[in-house]
Amino acid sequence: MSGPSCMSPEFHPIMKTRCILSLAVSLCVLAGCSTTPKTYSSVLEGMSRNNLRFWFGEPLRIEHVASGGEVWYYRFSTWQSQPTVTSRSRDDFGPQASNVTVGMAFSRQVVELPVHISPDGFVVKPVPEGKVVKK
C-alpha cells in the first residue's frame, strides 16, 4: 500500500504546501521554455533574402549587380530632429523684457533606400537605418 497522496486530508500541511510549490515551479519552468517568434521592423545585416521578403514584402524594385549580388529598394521611415529657437522682446507696460524659447521640432521622413544583398543571398553593409514602410 502506498502512502498518502498530496491532496489527501491526512497529508501534513507543510508537505501539501511543498507539493503545491513544486507544481507551481514546474509550471513556471515549462512556461519559460516556450519561445516567442521574432519580429523585425528594420533590416539587419546577415538577414537572408527569404527573411527580408517574408518580413517586409516584395521590394519596390531589384537591381542586379555585376558581382552576382542584388540591390533591393524599400521605403524607409526615419525621424529628423531640428532645434528651434524663438525670441521676442516686449515693452508694453514698463521696462523692456526679452524672452527666448528653445525646443526641438521632429519630422518624419519617408525615403527609398537600397538594401544590398550578397551573391549568397544575405544582407550586407551598408544597411539602411530606419523602419521599413510596408505598402
pLDDT (0 to 100) of residue 120: 96
How confident is the model at residue 115, as a pLDDT?
97
Taking the model in full, what pTM does it have? 0.58
Q: pLDDT-based confidence at 121, cuts 50/70/90?
A: very high
Euclidean distance between CA atoms 70 and 72, whole angstroms: 6
Percent share of the chain, pLDDT over 70: 74
Residue range 95-99: mean pLDDT, rounded: 80
Task: Say if residues 93 and 17 touch (Cβ distance below 8 Å).
Answer: no
DSSP assignment string, 108-130: EEEEEEEEEE-TTSBEESSPPPS
Asked if the model's pLDDT at residue 30 lies above 60, the reply is no
* Of 4-8, 34-38, 68-72, highest mean pLDDT: 68-72
Residue 10: the pLDDT is 60
CA 22 centroid distance within chain: 36
DSSP state of 30: H
